[in-house]
Chains A and B, each alone.
Chain A
C-alpha cells in the first residue's frame, strides 16, 4: 500500500501548485493582453511617461491590496484600509509639518499609528468576537472621522519637509541607472510585496494566517494562540496602510483628510482579481499585485482611448466578476 507514495510525489506536487499558479497565470495573461491591446490601438499608451503614470497609479492600490490580502487569507476582511491610509498620512503631516519633527519620525509615526488602528480592529474581532465586516466598517468611520478632526478638515502640506517627495514621486533608481525613472513609490510597493510574500509563505506567522483562514477551530484546538495571531494580522495590515499613506501623501505633497473612502473597495477588487479567496485560506501576494496592475492599466488605457470616465467604472466591475468566474471554473476542473 505504500508503493504509490514515492514515484508520483513530484507529479502530485506540481499538479497541486498549478491550481494557484494557474489563476495567477490567468491574471498575468489578462494583464499582458491588456498591455498589448492598448499598445496597438492607442498611440500614447506605451510611452514611457504613461508607463510611469500607470506605475504611480498602481503603487497605492497595490500596497493597500497587500495589506488586505493578509486579512482576507486569515478569514477576515478589512474595510478600513482606505481611511486608515488617510489617517496615517494626516499623522505624518501633524508630526512633520505641525510639530516640525524630522522625517524618520514622521515615517515611523505613520506606520505605528496604522499598526495601532489595525490592532484595535483585530482586538475587536478576536476578543470581542465582532464580525470582521462590522468591526472594520466601524474602524473605517472612526479613522475617517479622526483624520478630519486631527487635520481640522484641511489638507496638511509638506512644504517644510523638502525630502518628503523622496518617498514617492522621485526616483532614486534613476540616479543609479540613468533613464530608468521608476518612482520610489513603485519601488516601495515592490519591496513591500516581496517582504509580504516572504512573511506569508516562509514564516510561522504566515503559516498561522493560512491555518486561521482555513479552519480556525482546528488551529485553536492545536494549541495555537488564535487571538494573538489574528490581532497581529490586522496590525500588520494597518502598518502597511501606513506605508500607503506615506506614498499617497508624498505624491500629493499633502495629507488630504477627505480622501480615502472607496480605496478599500479597489484594494479588495485587486485581491480578488488576483485569485485570493474571499472565504479565506487561499491566496497570493503576487496575484494581488497583478490584480492592482490590471485595474490601473485598464483605467489608464480606457482614458487614453477616450472612453467616458463612467464607463471605466463599469468595465472594472465586469473584470472583477469575470476574474472570479474564471477562478471558479479553473478550480472546478482541477
Chain B
C-alpha cells in the first residue's frame, strides 16, 4: 500500500532556501507528501523543520525554491492562499486567542452566518465544534474560554482547529508535546482515519516511537539541509538518530545515586482540589522523579512550593528550617529554582536577547555596584552556556523569540543553572527537545546531582522518569499514590499507581 510513488504528490517543495538575519535556516531543503501517507520530518532543534512548514503554509516566503501543489507550481503568498489550496497546520507554538471560547477560536475568520450573513450562527458553530471534539473523543466544552485551559487542552483545541478545515494536506508540528498518552491514542486513530481518506500528513516530532508507529516515510534534516528520506518501519532507529545528529550519542544508562541530608521537606501540603495532603522529602544529591498523568497535580505542587501560587495549608522546610515562601522571590532567595512547563508564558521574555534571558534570574550579580549592568560579563556567562548546552543561535544578542522551540527550552534551563540554586525543580525539562540535546540534558542533571544539588524532575514521559530518577513519586488527582525506587520501577508499576484513585 506504500506503492504510491507513481501518483502525483499532494505537495512537493524543492531547492528551498531561506535566510534570517544571521541564520541560514534552510539550505536546499526539499520535501514531498503523497496522498494517504504519514510522512515524518525529523531533525535536531533548529534544523529548520518549523521554518520549512511555515513556507509550505504561506507564513514565510522562501528566498529561492519551488512549491508544487497537486503537480501545479504555486506561490503561497499568505496563509489564506495555502488554506484555499487545502493545506492546514497545527503549530508547535500555540496561536490561540485566550479570551475567546474554544468554538470561537476554531472558527475564527470563517464563522458560520445566519440572517443574511449579518449574524454569527453561534448555535451551529458550537454544534460543529462539539462534533469535532466528539470525533477526537475529547471531553471539552465548546464554550470554555481557551485561556483557562491547560497547555494540554489548548493543544487539543489547536488540533481540532486544524481538523476543521478538512484539508488534504495536514501538517502537525510536534502535536503531542503536551498531551497525554490516551489523547495521543485518539489522535493516532484520527490520523489513521484521515489516511484512509487520502489525506496526507506531515508529522514533526522528536519521539522515535511515534514515528515507528504511525509514519510511512521519514525525512531527516540537519542544519537546514535535506539529508535523506527512508521508510519508517524498516529503518533502524539508530540509523535515523545518527543521520539527525551527525555524531555519536552517549549511552543511555540509568541514573544511580543516593541522597545525603534532607534539603527540602514538604508536609501536608494542601491547595484546593489540586493538591491534597502531599508530603515528601528531597535529599542532597538526589534526583526525585514525579510521575503521573497530565493533570495529576505535579505542576501545582511545584508552583506551590515555589511560591508562585498560594497554598491552603502545609509546611515547607528547607535545610531543616521551616520557611514561609510567599513569592517566587522568597523561593529563589532560599536557593529554589523552578523551570516552568510553559516556557513561552512563564519561562522566557521572548523579546529580550538570549543573553538577557540566560542571566535574568541572576541580573543583580552582573552589575557594577548593584546599579550598572555589566553587559560584557553577562555576555560572557551566557556564551558559556550557549556552548555548554549547544544552543543554536547566531549570538547571545539574538532576540529569543527568533530561536527554535527546543533551543528556547535550553535557555530556560541555562537560566537556572547559572543562578546556581541548590534545589532545582524541572517541569517537563525536555519538552520539544531533540534526542541529542536530551541526552546532554540528562547527563547534565546527573552531574548536577553528583555535585550535590537536589533535583525534582516532573515528566510525563515514563522512559525519562525511569532513566533519570533515583526515586520516583507517583501522583494521581492531587495525591501521592506511591513511591518507587528508581532501580525497581517499571513503566507498568508507575502506570498502576498513576491511575489509582
- Residue positions of A touching B, CB distance < 8 A: 1-5, 8-13, 15-16, 202-208, 210-211, 214-215, 217-225, 281-282
Query: Is residue B372 within 8 Å, beta carbon to beta carbon, of the partner chain?
Result: yes
List 5 A-B pairs, minimum CB-CB distance, nearest first: A223-B332, A12-B22, A9-B395, A15-B21, A222-B361
Is A8's CB under 8 angstroms from B22's CB?
Answer: yes
A residues in contact with B392, CB < 8 Å: 1-2, 4-5
B398 with A12: CB separation less than 8 A: yes
- The number of chain B residues with a CB under 8 A from chain A is 49
Asked if A211 and B349 make an inter-chain contact with CB atoms under 8 angstroms apart, the answer reads: yes
- CB neighbours of A223 from chain B (8 A): 328-329, 331-333, 361, 419
B24 at the interface (CB under 8 A from A): yes
Residues of the B chain whose Cβ atoms lie less than 8 Å from the Cβ of A203: 367, 371-373
Q: Within 8 Å of chain A (Cβ to Cβ): is B501? A: no
Residues of B within 8 A of A1 (CB): 44, 46, 222-223, 246, 390, 392
Q: Could you name 25 residue pairs across A and B whose Cβ atoms are closer than 8 Å?
A: A1-B222, A2-B387, A2-B390, A4-B223, A5-B392, A5-B393, A9-B397, A11-B22, A204-B363, A204-B364, A204-B370, A207-B356, A210-B349, A215-B349, A215-B351, A218-B348, A218-B360, A220-B327, A221-B306, A221-B347, A222-B332, A222-B360, A222-B415, A223-B328, A223-B419
Q: How far is the CB of A241 from chain B (nearest CB, A)?
A: 23
Task: Select the stretch in B146-154, B260-268, B338-346 that faces chain A.
Answer: B338-346
Whether a CB of chain A sits under 8 angstroms from the CB of B394 is yes
Instruction: Name 11 extra pairs, CB < 8 A, besides A1-B223, A2-B390.
Output: A1-B44, A4-B23, A12-B397, A13-B397, A202-B372, A203-B372, A204-B364, A215-B349, A217-B345, A222-B360, A222-B361
Nearest chain A CB to B168 CB, angstrom units: 30
Contact present for B364 and A16 (CB under 8 Å): no
Determine whether B481 belongs to the interface, using a CB cutoff of 8 Å to chain A.
no
B308 at the interface (CB under 8 A from A): yes
Q: B21 contacts A11, CB within 8 Å? A: yes
Select from chain B the residue with minimum beta-carbon distance to A18: B21
Q: How far is the CB of A149 from chain B (nearest CB, A)?
A: 38
Q: How far is A315 from B372 in the complex, measured between Cα atoms in Å?
A: 41
**Provided the pairs A8-B22, A281-B351 are in contact, do residues A221 and B346 lie with their beta carbons within 8 angstroms?**
yes
Assembly CA distance A220 to B348 (angstroms):
11
Is the beta-carbon distance between B349 and A219 smaller than 8 angstroms? yes
Are A220 and B394 closer than 8 Å at their CB atoms?
no
Question: Residue A214 contacts which of B350, B370, B372, B373 (CB distance < 8 angstroms)?
Answer: B350
B399 beta carbon closer than 8 Å to chain A: yes
CB distance from B186 to the nearest CB of A (A): 31
Would B329 and A225 count as touching, CB distance under 8 A?
Answer: yes
Q: How far is the CA of A223 from the CA of B339 in the complex (A)?
A: 12
Q: Which of B23, B331, B367, B394 is A204 in contact with, Cβ under 8 Å? A: B367
Chain B positions within 8 Å of A210 at CB level: 349, 352
Known: A211-B360, A214-B351. A222 touches B328 (CB 8 A): yes
B357 to A: closest C-beta gap in Å: 9
Given contacts A214-B349, A222-B415, contact A202 B397 (CB under 8 A): no
A214 shortest CB reach to chain B, Å = 4
Cα distance, A211 to B349, chains bound together (Å):
7
Complex alpha-carbon distance, A214 and B351, angstroms: 7
Cβ of A195 to closest chain B Cβ, rounded Å: 13
Q: CA–CA, A9 to B351, complex, Å?
A: 18
Q: A203-B372, A215-B349, A221-B347 given as contacts; is B360 within 8 A of A12 (CB)?
A: no
Report Cα–Cα, A215/B346, bound state, in Å. Answer: 8
Of A10, A16, A204, A211, the residue contacting B398 (CB under 8 A) is A16
Shortest beta-carbon distance from B209 to chain A in Å: 24
Q: Which of A2, A205, A219, A221 has the most CB of B within 10 A?
A: A221
> Bound state CA distance, A12 and B223, in angstroms?
18
B328 partner, pick from A202, A206, A221, beta carbons under 8 A? A221
CB-CB under 8 A from A215, the residues of chain B are: 345, 348-351
Chain A residue at smallest Cβ distance from B397: A13
Most buried by A among B331, B332, B349, B361: B349
Closest to B24 in A: A4
Whether B371 and A204, one on each chain, are in contact in the complex, defined by CB atoms closer than 8 angstroms, is: yes
Residues of chain A contacted by B24 (CB below 8 angstroms): 4
Which residues of A are found within 8 Å of B387, using beta-carbon distances? Answer: 2
Q: How far is the CA of A8 from the CA of B44 in the complex (A)?
A: 21
**A205 CA to B44 CA in the complex, in Å?**
37
The chain B residue sitting closest to A208, CB to CB, is B363
In the complex, what's the smallest C-beta–C-beta distance from B305 to chain A, in angstroms?
13
Residue of B nearest to A201 (CB): B373
How far, in Å, is A232 (CB) from chain B's closest CB?
13
Best-surrounded residue of B223, B328, B331, B347 (most CB of chain A within 10 A) = B328
